[in-house]
Amino acid sequence: MTHSAQMNPLILAPLMYALNSREQAGDPVQFWLRDDDAVEPTQPLEDLLTLTERYAIPCTLAIIPARSSDALAQRLFTTEHVAVAVHGWSHDNYAPDDEKKQELGLHRPLNEVVSELKRGYTLLAQQHAPNFVPLLVPPWNRIDPAIVLELNALGFQGLSTFGAPTSSAIAMVNTHVDIIDWRGSRGGRDAGELVKDIVELIENTQTPIGILTHHLVHDDAAWQFLQQLFSTTSAHAGAKWVPVDHLLPASSPDPGLPS
């Protein structure tokens, strides 16, 4: 992970102003971090783990169960600042070409989709026992409402998509700011635009702000922005990074595996 240039401090000025306001109000903004598509140890994953550990940022890894390796489980076993969430089952698209990509839709029988989710929950709960959280992250942030209704019975305590919550059947722990420019460069988005989005959320919502990353596709701009965001917020009394399990409903001491 390299950083060719430091971000212009003026870009971060609106963020500092917003955080100062929250500090003065005694109401620090809560942030949480979700990173999608982990399956095995890679250098980009090492970069993410190093960066988040340096600034004491709790990190939720959405792992694809069907592709998750034992090597990844071994790597994360003693990584205390990481939580593991269930990223669908295989991250395969079952929607037709004229629809947006979706794994957790009703393009297949409901019981088939639910069976895969149960399998994914059980697998990751066993592989990543010290780090596992009963949170479902649908691939492409899309899930049919009929499947949402099945999640509590599978053992899930929360659902994480993107944007404003759309479900009341289960606790929603959404992300709100995606640092990747998927429709353009497919690298890091413009830092000024990212800061603008974050500041707007700080000023207009009390909901914990979810930052969404994808370590496997980060370019230098994405890593640079994350480093600046983490260094700015982790040292500021107007901000607090929280583990995702603090945002889920209180659980029993031993929820166990789904039956």
pTM of the full structure:
0.93
195 pLDDT above the threshold of 80: yes
In a domain, 249, yes or no: no
DSSP state of 6: P
Instruction: Give the mean pLDDT of 73-98.
Output: 95
Residue 15 lies in a domain: no
Is residue 8, in this structure, part of any structural domain at all?
no
| Mean pLDDT for the stretch of residues 19-34 | 97
Average pLDDT, whole number, for the chain? 92
Q: What secondary structure letter does DSSP report for 62?
A: E
d(CA 103, CA 109): 12
Q: Is residue 60 part of a domain?
A: yes
Q: CA torsion angle for 119, 100, 210, 13 (degrees, to 10)? A: 160
C-beta separation of 138 from 162 below 8 A: no
CATH code of 239's domain: 3.20.20.370
Q: Which domain holds residue 56?
A: 30-243
| pLDDT for the residue numbered 164 | 86
**pLDDT at residue 6 in the model:** 64
Domain count for the chain, please give it. 1
Q: Which two tokens stand for residue 114?
A: 């639910």
Contact 9, 190 (CB under 8 A): no
Give residue-wise pLDDT tens across range 159-174.
Answer: 999 998 876 789 999 9
pLDDT the model gives residue 259: 40
Q: Specify if 248 maps to a domain.
A: no
Percent of the chain whose predicted confidence (pLDDT) is above 70: 93
- Look at residue 253 in the predicted model and tell me its pLDDT: 43
For residue 88, is it within any domain?
yes
In a domain, 238, yes or no: yes
Asked, for residue 177, whether it belongs to a domain, the answer is: yes
The arithmetic mean of pLDDT across residues 77-92, rounded, is 96
